[in-house]
Amino acid sequence: MVTSRWTAAPAQTASPRRRGAVLERAILDAALEQLGTVGWKGLTMEGVAAGAQTGKAAVYRRWASKEDLVADALVSGLPRMEEAPDLGSVREDLLALCRQVRRIMYSLPGVALRSVIHECDHMQAERFEEVIIGNVVEPTIRLLREVIVRGIERGEVRSDAANGYVFDAVPAMMMYRSKMCASEWNDRDLEEMVDRLMLPLLRPYGA
């Protein structure tokens, strides 16, 4: 049986009792639903409680503020980064990795996350930017490092390419062009970035 800090709360309504993780999931789903329909500014703890068919107290017992609830809802809804691709060439690995990043950026929670950052104030925006860094950027950099180090071991990539400026190039370009050029990074765009930017950057000296 699942035990948690709130399973001991006394029953207050006659509705079907959901506890622990089940109720939590229903609340997080209701928060994502509200973000998609009324946005950050329109979202209220009451509205989320109603959407999850529970009481406001059940929401506040778990999340002290709207920021806390929305941050958890976004994190829980974002697709996870998978393992580092290992397809035999740095080109194929980079393409597969870029497609993973794109899948997260354009997932419903990914789009909601960017729109929350636009809607909320500066202090709150910093909090949600940290969600992007911790859940998208840092995992991307970790997998890029794996892919590039494997390329170095294969002799496909110059030996000094495993550094922060090289790792940042992919997330920097994806963020920049989606923001400044409204690029949606179709397959052709990703291939062009890999072929015109990453492969010339990574090629061994003398190649």
| Contacting positions for a second copy (CB under 8 A) | 115, 118-119, 121-122, 125, 129, 133, 137, 158, 161, 163, 165-166, 168-169, 171-173, 175-177, 179-180, 192-193, 196-197, 200-201, 205-207
What's the min distance (Å) between Cβ of 86 and a second copy?
Answer: 24
The rounded distance, in Å, linking the Cα atoms of 18 and 191 is 47
Q: Let me know: does 58 contact 50? Beta carbons within 8 Å.
A: no
59 or 132: CB nearest a second copy: 132
Q: Exposed/middle/buried for 101, CB within 10 Å: 0-12, 13-18, 19+?
A: buried
Is 57 or 201 the residue whose CB approaches a second copy more closely? 201
Q: How far is the CB of 173 from a second copy (least distance, A)?
A: 5
DSSP string, 55-114: -HHHHHHH-SSHHHHHHHHHHHHSPPP-PPP--SSHHHHHHHHHHHHHHHHTSHHHHHHH
> Minimum distance between the CB of residue 25 and a second copy, rounded to whole angstroms?
30
Q: Shortest distance, CB of residue 174 to a second copy, whole angstroms? A: 9
Between 6 and 176, name the residue whose CB sits nearer to a second copy: 176
In contact, 198 and 94? CB cutoff 8 Å: yes
Cβ distance to a second copy smaller for residue 51 or 139: 139
